[in-house]
Structure 1
């Protein structure tokens, strides 16, 4: 028997950020949703190469065009690489001004596999439109959100005509330095909270204290009963990611996801999330530094974290040399189209 309930297109759309955030905004971090987006923005994300659009850097780029009043197309029809999004730049800068810094995501996915491109001390922290574009362009994860075929894959009505349309959205969330040890994924099946799993794959000693585990399981279940269960009406089965408060008594909502094969069950198997274990949900944590799921020295998402262009730049260079070369390459991406225009004039 399958452990996953069937999903419709309408079910999937209930998990996109703009669908659930208005209901649960008081329990989540402040966020700005930008939609509709310029159709060229999708084309930019789908285009080959890693470069940032014109004007997205906070440092002005001096134009080399002979006539500054000459009208310039946003997208070069020959190369498809000349993009500029002044209105979107303004919206991103407004969010940065309001929040101090932001981290981006699309309807469902965040570019956490590209977090290595920004300082490790503040992963995903964006202070310019260029930071946002760089993360999205370098991420494999966000490609899921670019195609309706992938978004609705596995839906019972995926191949049939449907009134449920899909529109790409950009989400800018207020950036916080979150304590990864307090991030959990919770699994609700058929209206019951069955399991809670540690999200980060590192060993934390305090999470293995029996009293702490009991408090987490009890408090998450109680808070879910009062704050989420009455308000989530879209599906009987779902998952939600949380950040526990320091006292472990409450939580902030990070995201909702379908109860489906596409959502990682982390420290559980799908079969373990079928039957309630008792009055409180099961809690799974990394119980030893030698746990198979524990991180050793390998960075997260290492299998898909490096864009193709980085391989050629990294050859024979140390870490700092590579970082400088990568930044130089990105700067070229800002100005190369202006230089091309000068050559054609």
Structure 2
């Protein structure tokens, strides 16, 4: 058994703080009820795997399999993974009904629940899996609060099988019944986030820009083998972050937040980033003036031809080189010294990128 007792920077408290007391056997006995051996519990770091899977949200339906891949990577690298879940409603279900009143509040609920689970169980590091609108910023907010080694695994976009029409013919379901029926079958054809550059894909992309994902993780389509490779590699890499003591606060900084705004402008990203980036900044204790969007909008062109501002989908952006390709085109504006979850600065992650 590979021992990494020196990496149990928080989880060792579960046993050490009550050593030589009558309470010592309580946590040991309870946790052993999970089917784990005492040696594992005492010698391996506890790695949380936040899985926002559910059967209501198509953007999250595939995350169970990704979570399995993450755990495999953690185990291979000598960690002990513990998977847990939180709420993750779908904005699409709530559109046009009272359900929408519950959507934005979920951001804080999710962040609170992640914080509570990780702190209560003294987890040493965290890997998050998320796809959709309010869930993505919530995991970043939680990462800032917890300030432990954290890697985000974005669920990725679904496949783009329909393009927006400027006159939206057929959506009245009256004059174009056949067209409307076909449209329903391809407008959300697979698991994954809604494929245009809406809030979900925008924040997934900005997770990568800020250094919280492995390179290219945000735009790899949900239903591809590479998504599982990224998930497993993320599980392995979290152990490296723990070894090197690279916590979230060393990655999520004022500079990386500015990089997110710069990239958002270049992507033609969702205006909801102006709602979520300030919330993340607030957790960081950083003042965030919305004027920063105006500032960079005057300096930086939109260079990504992705719907709804362009004709292609987010999966097409991946084929063209993904976020590293975008960043390589705007690198003169970026803070390239920002640390990322690769353990390297942003500059090294994009230096050999080719734009297709």
Q: Same fold (TM over 0.5)?
A: no
Answer 1 or 2: which has greater helix percent. 2
**TM-score when scaled to structure 2?**
0.24
Indicate the structure (1 or 2) with the bigger Cα radius of gyration: 1
Q: More strand per residue: 1 or 2?
A: 1
What is the TM-score when the length of structure 1 is the normalising length?
0.25
Q: Which structure is richer in relative contact order (CA contacts within 8 A, separation 6 or more)? A: 1
